[in-house]
Structure 1
Amino acid sequence: MKKVLVTGATGFIGRHTIAPLTDAGFEVHAVTSKISVNSTDVDGKCCWHTMNLLDPIQVKNLVSTIQPTHLLHFAWYNIPGKCLVAEENFLWVQASLELLRHFREQGGERVVMAGSALEYDWNYGYCSEVLTPRNPHTTYGVCKNALQEMLKAYTEITKLSSAWGRIFNVYGPYDHPKRLVSSVICSLLRGESALCSHGNQLRDYLYVEDVANAFVALLESNVAGEINIASGKPVAVKEIVLKIAKKLGKSDLVKLGAIVASAEEPPLFAANVSHLSTEMSFIPKYDLDKGLDEAIIWWQKQLN
């Protein structure tokens, strides 16, 4: 029986992997720091485990009890506006390595961890797993990149099967309300102005269910190493904002240029997804229009 341990299972992406993992025949064990209403409405059947992943004793006991064959690791400190420079990033590198070690010692066979596009040198704009240098500009990116390097070295020594899914921009249900797509939707639904920068930045957005499905496909595959999880189709931020406004009939509330864009922001930051599409034959189910429709419907329900 395939048994998968999913960390960050009530998080933005992790929660969307439960149903496809169940459909794929996994016995799913989901970790959350606190059982709450957020875990009761996750689609898919799983066994919930409440624990603190930063406690090595709890991690050891959980892994030895479950003895999972697969590990899908999303848990991290990821609060918008804080996570990029937070000291908690270093704690999560240590905790992730402890989890990895215990997983292997208990006979684990395949691990997939969630990385970040912020590991790349964003000055290169169009990012390839093979060609683009890693030169992170944030603490978050530094720590994710360090974990990726250690995962690679560890799996080479132990012969553990592993992959690293490098996430770009994600949107959809359960997103943090301060992120771009959710923030614009919520402001417009409340009848408030959506304050934005000039919006000329080109970014790579993928709907959250597609991101989750890509991770499940990666876990099921034998693909090793780094894989960009993205659409590969950069779009101007202002195009996304204006699409949302048009769908809601509130284009007059969009205020482009109201916020000064950071001088450090690259004009283009997007993914080469040739490995995702060729090695895994992965095709997203949602285009931008359909994904935004779903996000709007979800936020309308939440605000009502």
Structure 2
Amino acid sequence: MNVVVTGATSFLGRALVDRLLKDGNKVYAVVRPGSKNRKYIDTNRPGLIQIERNLEELHKLDDVIKEPCQAFYHFGWDGSGSENRLIRKVQQKNTEDSLKALEGARRLGCRRFLFSGSQAEYGIHKEAMTEETGCSPVSEYGLAKLAFLKQAMDQTKKWRQEGSCSMEYIHARIFSVYGPGDHPWSLVESCIRSFSRGEYISLGECTQMWNFLYLDDCIRALILLMEQEKESVSGIYNVAAPEQENRPLKDYIRMMYEILGFHGSYSFGRRKPNAEGPANLIPDIKKLKAATGFEPEISFAEGIRRTYEAEKH
């Protein structure tokens, strides 16, 4: 297929581009002009075409892409860091820019548009989260992702009713993904760095329920959704590990400590919660599994080993 990927230098974007190229697709990787992360895109790889565009220019991609495309993955999003998640102006602009990306996909004749939603849309819950669970985001980041969902669903429905475009909209609510290349301040990266060096790390309470999914499994789930041969896969899908992986975050910390050889030390209750607060992550992925047959292939222990080995070189 001819595939467009925005946010191609992001943690998920880089891994997706790599997988799509290995699968024999032609990939238009969209990066922002002057991005310091362009080094992650190897423009010499067969099938890869890099395009420099700002997020507010994504509706005009057909100016440079002169052939129809079948799939559009939209990961381009400013202000994903903890502090920017609370800034309304930053997050509202992301919603506006993402609608331009949707229009860009329409002009390119894409069959499906997949958006990287977030568990932050749900807000704080104590029970399992299904796609029908009510959403009460507590951050501007979650509010903006949720706002785009409604507007994108309304827009694609309008296009179908007008007969001008039959593009499907897939809203992938991605939970907690880890793996090589993640942000250095993420919990998993911080633990791997500290424990592998025999250092001390101070942590939050870590009493909330959590769920981790390895990067390669996440990318495989997104591709399965995009490439399903069913007539329609429009709608919301939780993307996470299955129910049996839901456990207290403390347990995951202890597992990493053990896997990395019991080096260093840690203590709980020393750090403040992130922008979304001490949210539980208890995803239900039955809908994803029913639509695609998805099952993770990499256990948490194996994923931590792979991440450590990839990053120590």
**TM-score by shorter chain over 0.5:** yes
User: Take 1:264 and 1:20, find their aligned partners in 2: how far apart are those partners?
Assistant: 31
User: Take 1:14 and 1:73, find their aligned partners in 2: how far apart are those partners?
Assistant: 9
Partner of 1:297: 309
Partner of 1:228: 238
The secondary structure found in structure 2 opposite 1:103 is helix
Partner of 1:147: 148
Structure 1 segment 271-282 matched on structure 2, within 5 A: 271-282=283-294
**Which string of whole-angstrom CA distances, capped at 9 and with x for unpartnered residues, describes residues 50-87 of structure 1?**
22222357645345x35422111111124432232133
User: Take 2:83 and 2:239, find their aligned partners in 1: how far apart are those partners?
Assistant: 23
User: Take 1:78 and 1:250, find their aligned partners in 2: how far apart are those partners?
Assistant: 35
Structure 1 segment 84-123 matched on structure 2, within 5 A: 84-86=85-87, 87-123=89-125
Equivalent in 29, 41, 49 of residue 39 of structure 1 = 41
The secondary structure found in structure 2 opposite 1:123 is coil
User: Take 1:53 and 1:66, find their aligned partners in 2: how far apart are those partners?
Assistant: 21
User: Take 2:148 and 2:12, find their aligned partners in 1: how far apart are those partners?
Assistant: 19
Partner of 2:216: 209
Task: Please identify, of 46-55 and 222-231, the stretch whose mean Cα deviation from structure 2 is larger.
Answer: 46-55
Amino acid at match of 1:288: F
| Alpha-carbon distance change, 43 to 193 in structure 1, aligned in 2, over 3 angstroms | farther
Do the aligned partners of 1:20 and 1:216 also contact (CA within 8 Å) in 2?
no
Do the aligned partners of 1:14 and 1:212 also contact (CA within 8 Å) in 2?
no
The secondary structure found in structure 2 opposite 1:126 is coil
How far apart are 1:123 and its partner, in Å?
2.3
User: Take 2:137 and 2:276, find their aligned partners in 1: how far apart are those partners?
Assistant: 13
Do the aligned partners of 1:15 and 1:42 also contact (CA within 8 Å) in 2?
no
User: Take 1:44 and 1:84, find their aligned partners in 2: how far apart are those partners?
Assistant: 36
Do the aligned partners of 1:128 and 1:271 also contact (CA within 8 Å) in 2?
yes
Task: Please identify, of 66-75 and 34-43, the stretch whose mean Cα deviation from structure 2 is larger.
Answer: 34-43
| Structure 2, unpaired ranges of 5+ | 161-166
After superposition, the CA RMSD in angstroms is 2.4
User: Take 1:44 and 1:256, find their aligned partners in 2: how far apart are those partners?
Assistant: 48
**Which string of whole-angstrom CA distances, capped at 9 and with x for unpartnered residues, describes residues 73-126 of structure 1?**
111124432232133211111111112113213322211111001111322431
Task: Please identify, of 24-33 and 146-155, the stretch whose mean Cα deviation from structure 2 is larger.
Answer: 24-33
User: Take 2:225 and 2:268, find their aligned partners in 1: how far apart are those partners?
Assistant: 38
How far apart are 1:41 and its partner, in Å?
9.3
How far apart are 1:294 and its partner, in Å?
1.1
Task: Please identify, of 230-239 and 264-273, the stretch whose mean Cα deviation from structure 2 is larger.
Answer: 264-273
User: Take 1:300 and 1:111, find their aligned partners in 2: how far apart are those partners?
Assistant: 36
Matched, 1:179 2:190: no
Amino acid at match of 1:223: V
**Which string of whole-angstrom CA distances, capped at 9 and with x for unpartnered residues, describes residues 165-202 of structure 1?**
00111111110011110111112233321111232211
How far apart are 1:267 and its partner, in Å?
6.1
Partner of 1:71: 72
Partner of 2:163: none
Number of corresponding residues: 298
Amino acid at match of 2:139: T
| Structure 1, unpaired ranges of 5+ | none
Do the aligned partners of 1:168 and 1:270 also contact (CA within 8 Å) in 2?
no
| Alpha-carbon distance change, 59 to 90 in structure 1, aligned in 2, over 3 angstroms | farther
User: Take 2:50 and 2:136, find their aligned partners in 1: how far apart are those partners?
Assistant: 37
The secondary structure found in structure 1 opposite 2:182 is coil
The alignment's TM-score, normalised by the length of structure 1, stands at 0.89
Partner of 2:18: 19
The secondary structure found in structure 2 opposite 1:269 is coil
Do the aligned partners of 2:74 and 2:101 also contact (CA within 8 Å) in 1?
no
The alignment's TM-score, normalised by the length of structure 2, stands at 0.87
Structure 1 segment 241-256 matched on structure 2, within 5 A: 241-256=253-268
User: Take 2:24 and 2:307, find their aligned partners in 1: how far apart are those partners?
Assistant: 28
User: Take 1:286 and 1:116, find their aligned partners in 2: how far apart are those partners?
Assistant: 21
Partner of 1:133: 134
User: Take 1:174 and 1:61, find their aligned partners in 2: how far apart are those partners?
Assistant: 32
Amino acid at match of 1:205: F
Partner of 1:168: 175
User: Take 1:5 and 1:264, find their aligned partners in 2: how far apart are those partners?
Assistant: 31
User: Take 1:219 and 1:81, find their aligned partners in 2: how far apart are those partners?
Assistant: 29
